[in-house]
Amino acid sequence: MTDPSTSSAAAAADAPVVVAIDGPAGSGKSSVSKEAARRLGYGYLDTGAAYRALAWHALQHGADTSDSSAVIDVAGDFDYAISLDPDEYWVRVGTTDVTDAIREPRISDAVSGVARVPVVRRTVNALFRGLVAESGRPGVVVEGRDITTVVAPDAPVRILLTAAPDVRAARRSNELTTQDAASVAAALHKRDASDSTVVDFLTAAPGVVVVDSTELDFAQTVDAVLDVVRSALDTDRSAS
């Protein structure tokens, strides 16, 4: 008979390494996480895409995303799929590719209502863990709002990527050419305020390393994140 403790240890050894990255909107989480995944040869999981896709799905069905009951009802037939390949990223709801559609302003306005429903968060968090476990990759960089504290609190690498509010607004404004800087800053503030009622993504939990990219360019931020990853994994190997 196999020793259960031995089986558990073997399963843990085979499990993908999780690099958990949290942070506010405009901090560079997505682009930095995606590039870090490429450099590490890991998968990349954008957890925010699931909430955005559900918001898109709800709006397609005419649901009021500020009504928790309506969100729960429409989530019942939410058929979601996402690529973990940082070089071939896509998001689908059923057979519809929503990769671009979920970045529309109307989705950004609706997503907080969807994300704050507790049963939705529990279900989606379980989905994230399943995607990582079944990824078939040596590791996955998972980015979002509560990855370091809820989704993967035991991850060997946990990072809070942040930047000053004005810097985050300027970066997001450069990405969204159809909106002026003041509108983008107001939208970021509104999103942060709404999301912070659900999860604290502005304060590092114990054991989480802060990477502040306020004074860093993109390449420097990626390097800073990779330095944290390598240091944490070296420490983890030494401990084991």
Considering the entire predicted model, what is its pTM?
0.85
* 30 appears as a binding residue in the annotation: yes
Cα end-to-end span (Å), the chain? 26
* 5 appears as a binding residue in the annotation: no
pLDDT tens for each residue of 77-125: 999 999 999 999 999 999 999 999 999 989 988 998 999 999 999 999 9
DSSP 142: E
* 33 appears as a binding residue in the annotation: no
* 66 appears as a binding residue in the annotation: no
pLDDT tens for each residue of 214-240: 999 999 999 999 999 999 998 877 776
Question: What pLDDT band is residue 2 in, cutting at 50, 70 and 90?
Answer: very low
Q: What is the pLDDT of residue 10?
A: 42
For tokens 């998001």, the residue is 91
d(CA 169, CA 185) in angstroms, rounded, equals 5
* 207 appears as a binding residue in the annotation: no
d(CA 112, CA 71) in angstroms, rounded, equals 11
* 62 appears as a binding residue in the annotation: no
Can you list the domains of the chain with their CATH numbers? 17-239 (3.40.50.300)
* 27 appears as a binding residue in the annotation: yes
Residue 23 pLDDT exceeds 80: yes
Question: What pLDDT band is residue 213 in, cutting at 50, 70 and 90?
Answer: very high
d(CA 22, CA 228) in angstroms, rounded, equals 14
Among the listed ranges 5-14, 22-31, 136-145, which one has the minimum average pLDDT value? Answer: 5-14
Q: What is the pLDDT of residue 235?
A: 82
Q: What is the pLDDT of residue 190?
A: 66
Residue 48 pLDDT exceeds 60: yes
28 within 8 A of 161, measured Cβ to Cβ: yes
Question: What pLDDT band is residue 212 in, cutting at 50, 70 and 90?
Answer: very high
CA distances from 70 to 80, 102, 194 (A): 18, 19, 19
* 190 appears as a binding residue in the annotation: no
Question: What pLDDT band is residue 9 in, cutting at 50, 70 and 90?
Answer: very low
Cα 163 to the center of its chain, rounded Å? 17
Query: Residue 121 corresponds to which tokens in the numbers above?
Result: 């968060």
* 28 appears as a binding residue in the annotation: yes
- On average, the pLDDT of the chain sits at 87
Cα 9 to the center of its chain, rounded Å? 28
More confident call, 184 vs 21: 21
Residue 66 pLDDT exceeds 90: yes
